[in-house]
Structure formats: C-alpha cells, structure tokens
Amino acid sequence: MCVVDVLRSYSRHEWDQYFSPNVYTRKNRKLSSVFHTCWFGWCDVDEADPFAFNPEPSIVWQTSPGRTQALWVWGDPHTPETASAYSKALAYRYGGDKGGSAANKLLRIPGSYNHKPGYGKPFIPLLKFDFSEVSERPKLLPRQRGEYKANFFGRDLDPHAHSKMEVWKKYRRKLDASTSSLIRHNTVRAPDRSNRIFAMVAGLHEAGATLDEIASVIWASPYFRDKHGDNLSRLVREIHSIIGKVEDAR
C-alpha cells in the first residue's frame, strides 16, 4: 500500500513512473546499495523481438511503439554481479540495449505513460505476464565465463543450513590442528583475517565438506564477520574464489 500511495502522489498522467527490479539496503540507488540477492534478469529490449530471446522472458511490456522491456523470473536468486552478467548476456546476444545491465537499472512501470517529448504520451501495455520460474540461464559472453558462476543461494550456498560446531565435529579428524582451532574461535585471535578465512575454506574443502557446510562455518566465523560484516555476496565470492584456487593448485 505504501507503493500505491507513492504512485497516487505522482500521477501516471503527469509523471514518468519507473521501478527497479532489485531491492536496496539504503535510501539511494547506488550500485553498492543493491541487496545481496537478485531474483530477476532485466533488459531494455528496444526494437529487438523479445520472444526471440533464449530463454524467453517472463514479463514483457511495450514502452513506446515498437519498443519493449522485459524481466526474467529466475527460480533461484543470484548475486547482483551474476544477475547483471546474465542480463548483459541477454542484451548482447539478442539485440537489446547494451548499456542497461547494471543492477541499479530502472524500468518503466507497465500501465503508466511515456511522457518523452515527441512520443505522443503512449500508454505502456503489458504484453506478457508469466511468473513461472525460469530454470534455464542465458549463455554468458566469452569474456564472462571465467569471471561469473551461477551462485544459487537456495541450492548450493545456504549459510544457515548447519551449525558451526556441527560441521567441526563431523570433519575434525580430517582437519589439521590449526584449522580445527580456527573454526572453534568465537573472537578474532590472530592477525590477517584473509589468511584465516582461506585456511578454513581450503581445509574444509579438502576434508570433503559441502558448500552449505563451508558457508555455515565461514558465515559464523569472527574472522569473516570482522572483515566483511553481514555480506552474503562477499561470502559467495570468497568461498568460490578460494575453492577455485585450491583446485587450480592441484
């Protein structure tokens, strides 16, 4: 209802109305304020055919004659970086606006009016609405493939799936004494927090721990929280980056 009140205060007949497909942690539209999970892909389709995209968009609306915008409803949330990478791949591969993939992108609200001079104030109709989850992801651009991975919080990184001590008890016989001790720390007792995080992730990975188990330990670790705070996106990047380095070293 708060949104309805805002829209009523700025009538669609007098104002251009926009929305963001993502949520913000602060009252600004800075990229750094985008919440750590993004449920949508987005694209200024412009004059391209939105139904030629693969996967096909979930929601499509016409912003002016011959031009459209679209959303993809992903089945699992992504980090802002990954969601942006998928949105960029969609735009580049299928002819959308190449400059509209940032996670702080604004889109026109279906049902509003386009007040741009020379357009004749066209109504913005909804052309498709299907909120079914899209399981397929667009193929990333060649230069993106080594940089982004599909990080599904609900599927392979749940930092609340286990307790730290539960994981420690399960793998303690496979961990060296230093790593085992680090996991049990409740306060920061050693310098160089990055090295301590690396040691715990690498040790647990080598011991055979799952991503959920590793995430649960690192999320609860004072070394991570003291360095990165309540930042799930950073947790994802740290774990994937460290495991990648461990695998490369093999």
Task: Tell me the domains of the chain and their CATH numbers.
Answer: 2-144 (3.30.70.1790), 157-249 (no CATH)
Report the C-alpha gap between 73 and 76 in whole angstroms. Answer: 9
What pLDDT is stored for residue 175 in this prediction?
96
Whether a cis peptide bond, with omega within 30° of 0, leads into 55 is: yes
Mean pLDDT, residues 178-197 taken together: 93
What pLDDT is stored for residue 159 in this prediction?
86
Q: Is the pLDDT at 161 greater than 50, yes or no?
A: yes
What pLDDT is stored for residue 188 in this prediction?
93
Q: Is the pLDDT at 217 greater than 80, yes or no?
A: yes
Reduced to 3 states (helix: H, G, I; strand: E, B; else coil), residue 212 is helix
Report the C-alpha gap between 101 and 42 in whole angstroms. Answer: 7
What pLDDT is stored for residue 144 in this prediction?
64
What pLDDT is stored for residue 151 in this prediction?
45
Percent share of the chain, pLDDT over 90: 62
Residue 114 or 246, more confident:
114
What pLDDT is stored for residue 176 in this prediction?
95
Residue 2 or 56, more confident:
56
pLDDT tens for residues 7-36? 889 999 999 999 999 999 888 888 888 888
Q: Is the pLDDT at 190 greater than 90, yes or no?
A: no
What are the start-end ranges of the H helices in 172-192?
177-184
pLDDT tens for residues 46-75? 999 999 999 999 999 999 999 999 999 998
CB 144 within 8 A of CB 85: yes
Q: Is the pLDDT at 248 greater than 80, yes or no?
A: no
CB 101 within 8 A of CB 40: no
**What interhelical angle do 164-171 and 193-207 show, nearest 10?**
50
What's the pTM? Answer: 0.61
Helix H or strand E encompassing 44: strand 38-46
